[in-house]
């Protein structure tokens, strides 16, 4: 059911409200759509009117998350693949953060995300629905480095932590919605958002399969 009908619009609005109320994890897909990924990230991280508790996980430089979140006060964890760790080890300089902000295996990354959620909950004295927002930018290096079983175990744990805090997390995957990897991972998430760049500006299309609703292409 798309949102072109009044009934579809109501169903989609209700489904989004439930995601915010109950906690949710959203997969953001789209190849060659850097601008659209950035715009989607801004929307999903939420405005600054409320007391948001934002956090960021980066797995590759030059990714999807806008600099405003990396340069701000959002706690950031950086995952480095073994190849990158070896490449940067000799210099120890540049724009990388302190070693305490970096993790280099999937188990440590899962623990770090759990720590981000716990820290946000303590700082807020208890989190309201959708107060905690997490951006994971992006899943691509994890897909390339780990087998499906390891990646599924990691995502199950992280999405459960976010949902338990009634937070909202989104995970960038710069591949097409119809790509095999995206199709394989999609069932782990509450919603999938396709994004694309174009002459008319960045666009988005939502898929909420559990609720049986979705949208046509809409402006971001």
- 87-106 pLDDT tens trace: 444 444 344 443 348 999 99
Q: Please report the pLDDT score of residue 83 as a whole number.
A: 59
Q: Please report the pLDDT score of residue 95 as a whole number.
A: 46
53: Cβ–Cβ under 8 A, 6 or more apart, which residues?
A: 120, 123, 124, 127, 131, 132, 133
Q: Please report the pLDDT score of residue 97 as a whole number.
A: 41
Q: Please report the pLDDT score of residue 179 as a whole number.
A: 98
Q: Is residue 13 part of a domain?
A: yes
Rounded CA-CA distance 120/165 in Å is 9
Q: Is residue 205 part of a domain?
A: yes
Query: With contact defined as beta carbons under 8 Å apart, do 185 and 174 qualify?
Result: no
Give the DSSP per-residue string, 47-85. -SSS--EEEEEESSTT-SS-HHHHTTTS-EEEE--HHHH
Q: Please report the pLDDT score of residue 142 as a whole number.
A: 96
Rounded CA-CA distance 177/186 in Å is 9
Q: What is the domain extent for residue 193?
A: 6-219
Rounded CA-CA distance 150/106 in Å is 8
Give the total number of structural domains in the chain. 1
- 134-167 pLDDT tens trace: 999 999 999 999 999 999 999 999 999 999 999 9
Positions in the chain short of pLDDT 70? 1-5, 48-50, 61-62, 82-100
Q: Please report the pLDDT score of residue 214 as a whole number.
A: 92
112: Cβ–Cβ under 8 A, 6 or more apart, which residues?
A: 57, 77, 103
Instruction: Please state the pTM of the whole predicted model.
Output: 0.90
Look up the CATH number of the domain holding residue 87. 3.40.50
């Amino acid at each position: 059911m798309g949102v072109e009908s009044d009934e579809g619009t109501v169903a989609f609005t209700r489904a989004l409200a439930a995601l915010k109320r109950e906690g949710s994890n959203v997969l953001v897909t789209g190849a060659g759509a850097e601008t659209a990924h950035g715009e989607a990230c801004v929307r999903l991280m939420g405005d600054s009117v409320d007391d948001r508790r934002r956090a960021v996980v980066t797995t590759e430089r030059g990714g999807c998350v806008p600099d405003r979140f990396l340069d701000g006060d959002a706690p950031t964890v950086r995952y480095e693949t073994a190849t990158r760790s070896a490449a940067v080890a000799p210099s120890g300089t540049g724009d990388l953060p302190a070693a305490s902000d970096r993790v280099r295996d999937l188990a440590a990354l899962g623990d770090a995300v759990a720590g981000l959620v716990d820290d946000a909950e303590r700082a807020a004295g208890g989190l309201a629905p959708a107060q905690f927002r997490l951006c994971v930018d992006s899943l691509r290096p994890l897909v390339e480095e780990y087998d499906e079983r390891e990646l599924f175990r990691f995502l199950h744990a992280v999405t459960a932590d976010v949902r338990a805090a009634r937070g909202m997390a989104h995970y960038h995957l710069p591949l097409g919605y119809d790509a095999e990897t995206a199709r394989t991972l999609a069932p782990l998430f509450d919603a999938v958002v396709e994004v694309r760049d174009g002459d008319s500006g960045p666009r988005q299309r939502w898929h909420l399969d559990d609720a049986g609703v979705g949208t046509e292409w809409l402006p971001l």
